[in-house]
Structure 1
Amino acid sequence: MSNLKLGIIGLSEGNGHPYSWSAICNGYDVQAMDKCEFPTIPRYLSERRWPDDQIEGVKVTHIWTEDRSVSERVAAASLIPNIVDSSIDMIGAVDGILLARDDAEQHFRFAAPFLRAGLPVYIDKPFALSLQEASRLMATRTFQGQIYSCSALRYAKELSLTASELAAIGMVRHIIATVPKDWDRYAIHALEPALMLIPDRGRAVAFRKSSIGRASSLAVEYASGACLTIHALGAVAAPISLKVIGHAGWRELVFQDSFSAFKSALETFKTSIEMRQSPISDDFLLEVAELLEAGR
Structure 2
Amino acid sequence: MPLRPPRLLAACLTLLALGGFAHADDAKPVRVGIIGLDTSHAPAFAKILNDPKAAKDVSGFRVVAAYPKGSPDIESSVSRVPKYTEILKEMGVAIVPSIPDLVDQVDVVLLETNDGRPHLEQALPVLKAGKPVFIDKPVAASLADTIAIFEAAKRFKTPVFSSSSLRYLQGADAVRTGKYGKVLGADTWSPQSMDPTHPDLLWYGIHGVEPLFTMMGTGCKTVRRFVNKDQDVVVGTWTDGRLGVFRGLKQGARGYGAVAFTEKKILPLSRFDGYRPLMVEIVKMWRSGEVPVPAEETIEIIAFCEAADISKEKKGAPVELAPLIKKARAEASSRLAALLDEKDGAKVAAGTAARN
Give the TM interval when normalised to the shorter protein: 0.7 to 0.9
Give the number of equivalent residue pairs. 264
> Closer, same or farther in 2 for the Cα pair 1:116/1:226, shift >3 Å?
same
Indicate whether 1:241 and 2:257 are aligned. Answer: yes
Q: Is the 8 A contact 2:186 2:212 kept in 1?
A: yes
Measured in 2, the distance between the counterparts of 1:126 and 1:223 equals 25
Q: Is the 8 A contact 2:131 2:158 kept in 1?
A: no
Q: Is the 8 A contact 1:121 1:146 kept in 2?
A: yes
The counterpart of 1:195, out of the listed 199, 203, 213, is 213
Indicate whether 1:108 and 2:120 are aligned. Answer: yes
Amino acid at match of 1:251: L
Amino acid at match of 2:47: A
Amino acid at match of 1:250: I
Which is greater in Rg? Answer: 2
Partner of 2:106: 94
Deviation at 1:7, TM superposition (A): 0.6
The counterpart of 1:289, out of the listed 297, 302, 309, is 302
Partner of 1:10: 36
Higher helix share: 2
Cα-to-partner distance string for 1:231-252 (whole Å, 9 max, x where unaligned): 1113555111101223564121
Amino acid at match of 2:53: P
The counterpart of 1:73, out of the listed 73, 83, 86, is 86
In the superposition, the TM-score normalised over structure 1's length comes to 0.78
Partner of 1:138: 150
> Closer, same or farther in 2 for the Cα pair 1:187/1:137, shift >3 Å?
same
User: What value does the CA root-mean-square deviation take over the aligned residues?
Assistant: 2.7
More displaced 10-residue stretch of structure 1: 208-217 or 175-184:
208-217
Deviation at 1:85, TM superposition (A): 2.1
Partner of 1:172: 183
> Closer, same or farther in 2 for the Cα pair 1:214/1:190, shift >3 Å?
same
Deviation at 1:192, TM superposition (A): 2.5
Amino acid at match of 2:41: H
In the superposition, the TM-score normalised over structure 2's length comes to 0.66
Deviation at 1:107, TM superposition (A): 1.2
Cα-to-partner distance string for 1:166-192 (whole Å, 9 max, x where unaligned): 53xx54322111101332233322222
> Closer, same or farther in 2 for the Cα pair 1:163/1:271, shift >3 Å?
closer
Gaps of 5+ in 1: 28-49
Q: Percent identity?
A: 22
Partner of 2:50: 26
Measured in 2, the distance between the counterparts of 1:228 and 1:63 equals 38
Q: Is the 8 A contact 2:35 2:109 kept in 1?
A: yes
Measured in 1, the distance between the counterparts of 2:65 and 2:101 equals 9
Indicate whether 1:82 and 2:94 are aligned. Answer: yes
Q: Is the 8 A contact 2:128 2:156 kept in 1?
A: no
Gaps of 5+ in 2: 1-23, 71-80, 194-200, 310-356
Amino acid at match of 1:192: E
Partner of 2:325: none
Q: Which has the higher contact order (CA 8 A, sep 6+)?
A: 1
The counterpart of 1:51, out of the listed 47, 50, 53, is 53
Q: Is the 8 A contact 1:159 1:255 kept in 2?
A: no
